[in-house]
């Protein structure tokens, strides 16, 4: 399967929206008396873009504390997402979830759990529902490599395998947490774990946007055909701001001009920008293949930034929830 021009434009748009959304989160965190602890999805845009390319109505994605990108990729309203991150009344979750728990089931992002391993079993449940309702819908479990440290991963992978459930295990492997590996496995590779449970497993380079889309499309097609789960490991070089204690721009605000003029790349993390930033690399690839003009790409980016500015203004104008709301909604 080849990727069409429309899909390329959709992928770039999606990745730009994810990136500019997360940068706006940093701006918001710096500008407000902000109590959250954001785990940004910068540097992982290809996986969100790839999932957006395959999600159909009725498919359900379960995500983690690093969920923002998937919300935006799936089509959630960025204004309501910013409002949730700021704890405002107009937030997706009415201010009760915050950055760790954004969800938008109407756009296919069923739930987000900030417990490591939380998403993987829930997605198996969504897949069980899809199969028992005899639909061709699939579930996507988004998680990081650290999830394979948890016991639930073993149980959930095994159950998905023996029940032949339609679930894509989408593992973003950014390999490091500070100086230590974020996943401590005796297995030589992450995919050896699902492979031991008879789940076909694929490794793809997350810095290559179209290869990632291709891998996700292939996996989704196989899963929708009723062939059971697939484990897809998307390898990323970790963005230097991945584990932020305080809001900061370690690689600066993304300068798309660096796709054409690498002499503009500077700073302590220049190597990450040059070799691993999937957004910059994709813009560069689109330019080199003459798929889109520089002018069109920069115009698209400006529109995305305008959208994010409007969404930010919506969130900042949203009031905090009334205190009595805290006592409502423990039960349906």
Which residues contact other proteins (rule: CB under 8 A)? 60, 62, 91-97, 101, 103-106, 110-111, 113, 115, 118, 120-130, 132-133, 139, 151-152, 155-156, 158-159, 162-163, 329-332
Contact 19, 45 (CB under 8 A): yes
Please say which residue, 113 or 182, places its beta carbon nearer to other proteins. 113
CB count within 10 Å of CB 144 equals 25
Q: Name the residue nearer to other proteins (CB basis): 34 or 154.
A: 154
Q: How far is the CB of 210 from other proteins (least distance, A)?
A: 31
Of 94 and 250, nearer to other proteins (C-beta) is 94
- Shortest Cβ distance from residue 63 to other proteins (Å)? 12
Q: How many CA atoms lie within 13 A of 67 on its CB side?
A: 35
- Strand partners for 314: none
Residues near 43 by beta carbon (within 8 Å), at least 6 away in sequence: 174, 236, 237, 238, 239, 242, 272, 276, 277, 278
The tokens of 206 are what?
């997350």
d(CA 95, CA 97): 6
**Residue number with CB closer to other proteins (231 or 276):** 231
Select 26 or 156, whichever has its Cβ closest to other proteins. Answer: 156
Least distance from C-beta 187 to other proteins, angstroms? 19
In whole angstroms, give the CA distance from residue 230 to residue 201.
6
Find the shortest distance in angstroms from Cβ 226 to other proteins. 17
- Nearest distance, CB of residue 125 and other proteins, angstroms: 2
Supply the minimum distance, in Å, between the C-beta of residue 241 and other proteins. Answer: 26
Closest distance between other proteins and the C-beta of residue 110, in Å? Answer: 6
Residue with structure tokens 């600066």? 252
Give least dist CB 199 to other proteins, A: 14
Nearer to other proteins by C-beta: 181 or 329? 329
Helix (H, G, I), strand (E, B) or coil at 77: coil
For the bound state, the minimum distance from the C-beta of residue 233 to other proteins, rounded and expressed in Å, comes to: 20
Q: Where are the beta strands (DSSP E) in the chain?
A: 60-63, 109-112, 139-144, 167-173, 176-177, 180-181, 201-205, 230-235
| Cβ distance to other proteins smaller for residue 153 or 219 | 153
Contacts of residue 308, defined as CB under 8 A and 6 or more positions apart, other chains included, come to: 17, 20, 21, 23, 24, 78
Q: Answer yes or no: are the C-beta atoms of 39 and 99 closer than 8 Å.
A: yes
Nearer to other proteins, 18 or 124 (CB): 124
Name which of 51 and 103 has its Cβ closer to other proteins.
103
* Backbone angles phi and psi of 56, in degrees to 5: -110, 165
CA dihedral 273, 274, 276, 282 (to 10 degrees): 100
**150 contacts: CB under 8 Å, gap ≥ 6:** 116, 117
Residue 48 C-alpha from the chain's centroid: 4
């Amino acid at each position: 399967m080849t990727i069409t021009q429309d899909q390329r434009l959709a992928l770039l748009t999606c990745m730009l929206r994810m990136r500019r959304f997360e940068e706006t989160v940093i701006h918001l965190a710096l500008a407000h008396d902000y109590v959250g602890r954001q785990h940004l999805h910068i540097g992982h845009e290809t996986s969100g873009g790839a999932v957006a390319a395959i999600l159909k109505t009725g498919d359900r994605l379960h995500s983690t504390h690093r969920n923002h990108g998937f919300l935006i990729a799936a089509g959630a309203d960025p204004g309501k997402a910013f409002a949730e991150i700021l704890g405002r009344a107009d937030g997706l979750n009415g201010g009760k979830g915050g950055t760790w728990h954004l969800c938008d089931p109407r756009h296919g992002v069923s739930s987000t759990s900030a417990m490591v391993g939380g998403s993987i079993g829930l997605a198996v449940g969504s897949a069980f529902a899809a199969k028992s309702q005899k639909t061709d819908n699939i579930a996507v479990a988004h998680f990081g490599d650290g999830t394979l440290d948890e016991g639930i991963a073993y149980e959930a992978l095994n159950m998905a395998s023996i029940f032949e459930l339609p679930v894509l295990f989408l593992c973003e492997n950014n390999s490091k947490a500070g100086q230590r590996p974020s996943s401590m496995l005796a297995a030589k590779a992450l995919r050896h774990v699902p492979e031991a449970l008879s789940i076909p497993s694929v490794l793809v380079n997350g810095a290559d946007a179209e290869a990632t889309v291709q891998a996700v499309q292939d996996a989704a097609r196989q899963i929708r055909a009723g062939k059971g789960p697939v484990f897809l490991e998307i390898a990323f070089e970790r963005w230097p701001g991945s584990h932020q204690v305080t809001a900061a721009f370690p690689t600066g605000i993304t300068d798309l001009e660096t796709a054409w003029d690498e002499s503009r790349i500077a700073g302590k993390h220049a190597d990450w920008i040059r070799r691993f930033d999937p957004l910059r690399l994709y813009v560069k690839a689109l330019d080199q293949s003459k798929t889109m003009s520089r002018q069109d790409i920069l115009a698209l980016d400006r529109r995305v930034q305008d959208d994010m500015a409007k969404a930010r203004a919506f969130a900042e104008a949203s009031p905090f929830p009334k205190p009595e709301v805290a006592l409502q909604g423990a039960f349906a």
